[in-house]
Structure 1
Amino acid sequence: MSEKHIDEISGVETTGHEWDGIRELNNPMPRWWVWTFYVTILWAVAYAVAYPAIPMITSATKGYLGFSSRAELQQDLNQAKVAQTKFHDMIAAKTVQEIDADPSLREFAIAGGASAFKVNCAPCHGSGASGGPGFPNLNDDDWLWGGDLDSIQATIAHGVRYEADADTHVSEMPAFRDMLDPVQTKQVAAYVWSLTNTPSDASGAEAGKQIFLDNCAACHGEDAKGKLEMGAPNLADAIWLKGSGEDAIVRQVMAPRHGVMPAWAGRLGDTAVKELTVFVHSLGGGQ
């Protein structure tokens, strides 16, 4: 047995390892640290016995206390649902006007509607309800079928041009390809653009006004401000759904694009539709 090496300066035994003449002192660990380490070992063993901890082939050990984080979460969810039941019952029994007039119900409906909107409506209208090309912005004041609570509820419940629902909103802009020649189409597009912008051809826009009155005013109104009951958009507010500019207007006049919105009443139920109604109305553009 080799003799232990003692460091000459500190008087402490070394580990016996040497690197280029450098030796490592074999200082013992502090007693408080050693006992803390032992306690953590005991704690780990006790935890593994008391709680689910050791993975098996298809499951894990259940633990002496039978604790389950999933069961605890489910219990919390069940309690939350019970707490929400009274609000859902009240919303189901009230009109959207009554819900909007009740501060607590309105707050609950907006929260529920916001959640339903993110899941069901955001893919088309955007997460912030700002819409996009062909999909209306629900934050502004431009409404095709009305922006009051009843109108929004009807639109959400029955959709737009949704054939499976007999009460859906229906409006079809005819294609004027066979009714107007290319020159007339450009003139009426110039007139519509002139309502909010400077047209490319002022004389053409002037001629397009009469063409508009003869062909478009029946739906959009003589002042071009639209008719909510017909789903005819306001053309004089600089808010464009299918694209802005004279070329975009020409394309829409010649070959109109018509969007389809599904009816949500059958999918979500009356209560969720009411919550969505109050939420959309609260975005700032509701009438």
Structure 2
Amino acid sequence: MKSMVIGGIILIIALIAGTYYVAGDAFNSDDYVNSLTFLGAIAIITITVFVALKYVNQIKNDTASGELAEEKWDGIGEYRNPIPTGWALAFIGTMVWLLWYWTIGYPTNGFSQIGQWNEEVNDYNAKFASKWENPSEDTLVSMGQSVFLVQCAPCHGVDAEGINGKAQNLTHRISKESVEYVIKNGSNNLVTAFPAGMPPMMLTEQADIDAVSTYVAGGFKGEQPAAFAVCAGCHGADGKGMAFVGPNIRNYDDALVLAVLTNGKKGHIGSMPSFNDRLNPTQEKALAAYIRSIGE
């Protein structure tokens, strides 16, 4: 037991020294609260170590005693010993403290920094929505540029041409490679706006895939390929899409931009993560307006 006490004292000194080494600068200030905190840390360390030593000593030296209970499990029984007084008081004290904390100590309607922050954010969003309830197209484009530079430029670049080809070039509607990828692999991730999705290989002949990809990527100019009739069933003969059926593949309209922001996008270049709830509706509409203006 003597060696355990000596070891415990050494451990206490080591823990206190470690605490002072990590946070000692705070205790050298004139703020007495820091000094009280350090004294509290010493008390907690000391009590914890000696309580642990007490129970380790009991485990090593105490012997079981009392009346055995009749119930046994696989030949293992237990003694009818009373609940330790300290444990019972601690248990009851914890329940009393819990009820106090729930009702008086920290009521749910009390002050909260998180609650204050949420209220301020909600107030700001309400003012923002009221101020920009009916913005003009020029205002949307200007606002959208600011949103784009913060949220989109890290991948698409400040000029919207994509960085090292690792993100979609937004200066024109879509590339031939992107159209071909979607035809061959389908697109089922814009489920909130277009729940039906698009299965892969709607066109099976490579010649038809090339013709449609070139026509769509070229801005629907020239003679429309006969194979585009398969696409027109969902995207419309003019490629401007159908609500809840197929997206606009002619330009970046509000519905398509919102769908991509909400669900993310996977294409031949890679995957774009979802931006759901990161922008408010006005910012989403403004971003769509700015992206459309880039290619004009």
Q: Which has the higher helix share?
A: 2
Bigger relative contact order (CA 8 A; separation at least 6): 1
Q: Give me the TM-score of the superposition, normalised by structure 1.
A: 0.34
